[in-house]
Structure 1
Amino acid sequence: MAADTSAPRAAASPRLSQPWILTYHSVSDPTDDPYGITVSAERLDEQLTWLRRRGLTAVGVAALLRGRAAGRRGLVGLTFDDGYADFLDEALPVLARHGCTATVFVLPGLPGGSNAWDPLGPRRPLLTEDGIRAAAGAGMEIGSHGMRHRDLTALSDDELRAETHSSREAIRRLTGTEPAGFCYPYGTADRRVLASVRDAGYAYGCALAPGPLLGPLALPRTHVSHADRGARLRAKEVRHRLRHRTAAAPARRTRGEA
């Protein structure tokens, strides 16, 4: 069954408490990981176990926003950026064991490609079109990461429109559902980029440290690495609550969003 990806048009204020959303990338062998964006399936299992023991259930971002709008507590957002092929064999079984779902932000312009944007490697395969459909069929929310993982702030207006509008249409053709969410490659966005995402029809956007752009189209997230266990996760949760419960912090680009 495909996930219900509808999301409310949140009227979130930068001065309201922001939902806690965790950011993952590849789930595979983390030994060759120059960017710190890979966790093993065993460590993912341990991290989800920690969340469940604290009474938290991990869900996709659209489900998280719907739950918050309905007053539901105990939800945390779970996202996987770039749409790595290992999501199906490594991450999905762990999520199923814990009764969790997630948002997978994919690159419909690079089906079956690789993370060529990471100069240090290692090269990891991306989901094929069939893989994207399989993730959606397993109940995962599919969101857009743009077409080809480009710095959106450096693009012309026409190129930006292709990354935001065309990627949404491409995902709709693949899955039969228009994606509700967009995730900014490299965590890089500005007001022009947010305007294009809004114009494309997305209900929400995900960043890492959105600074003054904080709001429904620039939701903050917490990068999770293989080194994160209970104490580190708790510290990151506390930091998130403190940082995003009042005014937005200054913008800062973070490599963790890849």
Structure 2
Amino acid sequence: MPVSADRSPSTTPAPATPPRRSGPPPWVAMYHSVGDCSHDPYRVTVSPRRLDRQLGWLRRRGLRGVGMRELLAARARGAGQDLVGLTFDDGYADFLTHALPLLHRHGCGATLFVLPGRLGDDNAWDPLGPRKPLLSAEGIRRAAAEGIEIGSHGLTHVDLTRADDALLRAEVSDSKDLLSDMTDAPVSGFCYPYGKVDRRVVDAVEKAGYAYACATDPGHLAGPLALPRVHVGERDTAWRLHLKRGLHRLRRHAVEGV
């Protein structure tokens, strides 16, 4: 989908930045596709049955999965200790058919990071894996109407640390504008493709007006614009989830601003 790179950054005001504090980062689960796991070389797919069990595990422990905007707003109030961030990267079409009904069943929310430059396309950036269809504009609007927070994953899923300035601006700012127009709502969150981030990319995300951004292991860049997350996949049974949650609190440095 051709997109002009000379659009000015979105002027939609972002939610107020949470007060700066230092503490353990919120626990944020990173999902991708929900469906058939029989051929999954990148381990980006979880079966509906496994996701159902994982969400049930959260609820039995008095925890509730929510979107990132809700999670960070609660943290800013000094609350939200019973909340877990649920994020789904790439905007796979199977989110509507498999993930959304399970989220509703367990009373959970989520943030869906999508690619407005690949509407109705597939995951061509994964050369070894099966082709998986991505959501169309109508599918994204349906998810938003069902209470799912929509965030940007860039336009086309490129490594932003290797992008020139024009491409970086388009991927970060234009995607925000397109999604805001598509959903008729402000877009607060960004997610770095491949989890790759550096100071230049963080600065571009901040300049575009995002309130937060998700990474994987951002190291010294960790903060509201580079939030660490934990990969959750098909192998994550109740015991592995328990271990991952504990290790997340222990091995991460304190994160200022969340």
1:20 maps onto 2:27 in alignment: yes
1:105 maps onto 2:113 in alignment: yes
Task: Assess, with a 3 A threshold, how the Cα gap between structure 1 residues 234 and 84 changes in structure 2: closer, same or farther.
Answer: same
Q: Give CA deviations for 1:37-93 in whole Å, capped at 9, x if unaligned.
A: 100111101000000011000000000001111222200000000000000010000
User: Which of 119, 122, 130 in structure 1 is aligned with 2:130?
Assistant: 122
1:44 maps onto 2:51 in alignment: yes
1:231 maps onto 2:239 in alignment: yes
**What secondary structure is seen at the aligned counterpart in 1 of 2:122?**
coil
1:95 maps onto 2:121 in alignment: no
1:85 maps onto 2:93 in alignment: yes
Q: In 1, Cα distance between the equivalents of 2:19 and 2:92?
A: 32
Task: Assess, with a 3 A threshold, how the Cα gap between structure 1 residues 52 and 8 changes in structure 2: closer, same or farther.
Answer: farther
Equivalent residue letter for 1:85:
A
Structure 1 residue runs of 5 or longer lacking an equivalent are 1-5, 249-258
Q: In 1, Cα distance between the equivalents of 2:253 and 2:193?
A: 25
Conservation of the 8 A alpha-carbon contact between 1:12 and 1:215: no
Q: Give CA deviations for 1:195-226 in whole Å, capped at 9, x if unaligned.
A: 00000000001001000100000000000010
Conservation of the 8 A alpha-carbon contact between 2:192 and 2:214: yes
User: Which of 51, 74, 77 in structure 2 is aligned with 1:70?
Assistant: 77
Normalising by structure 2, we get a TM-score of 0.91
Which residues in structure 2 correspond to 1:51-200 (within 5 Å)?
Answer: 51-72=58-79, 73-200=81-208
Structure 2 residue runs of 5 or longer lacking an equivalent are 1-13
Q: Give CA deviations for 1:221-241 in whole Å, capped at 9, x if unaligned.
A: 000010101110011111110
Conservation of the 8 A alpha-carbon contact between 1:136 and 1:175: yes
1:31 maps onto 2:38 in alignment: yes
Q: In 2, Cα distance between the equivalents of 1:173 and 1:89?
A: 24
Q: Give CA deviations for 1:104-127 in whole Å, capped at 9, x if unaligned.
A: 000000000000000102100000
Where has structure 1 moved over 6 Å in runs of 4 or more?
A: none
RMSD of aligned C-alpha atoms?
A: 1.4
Equivalent residue letter for 2:119:
P
Q: In 2, Cα distance between the equivalents of 1:83 and 1:204?
A: 18
Q: Give CA deviations for 1:18-54 in whole Å, capped at 9, x if unaligned.
A: 0000000000011110011100111101000000011
Q: In 2, Cα distance between the equivalents of 1:247 and 1:108?
A: 30
Conservation of the 8 A alpha-carbon contact between 1:107 and 1:146: yes
**What secondary structure is seen at the aligned counterpart in 2 of 1:23?**
strand
Conservation of the 8 A alpha-carbon contact between 1:8 and 1:65: no
Normalising by structure 1, we get a TM-score of 0.91
1:206 maps onto 2:224 in alignment: no
Q: In 1, Cα distance between the equivalents of 2:201 and 2:255?
A: 22
Q: In 1, Cα distance between the equivalents of 2:15 and 2:103?
A: 21
| Residue 139 of structure 1, CA deviation | 0.2
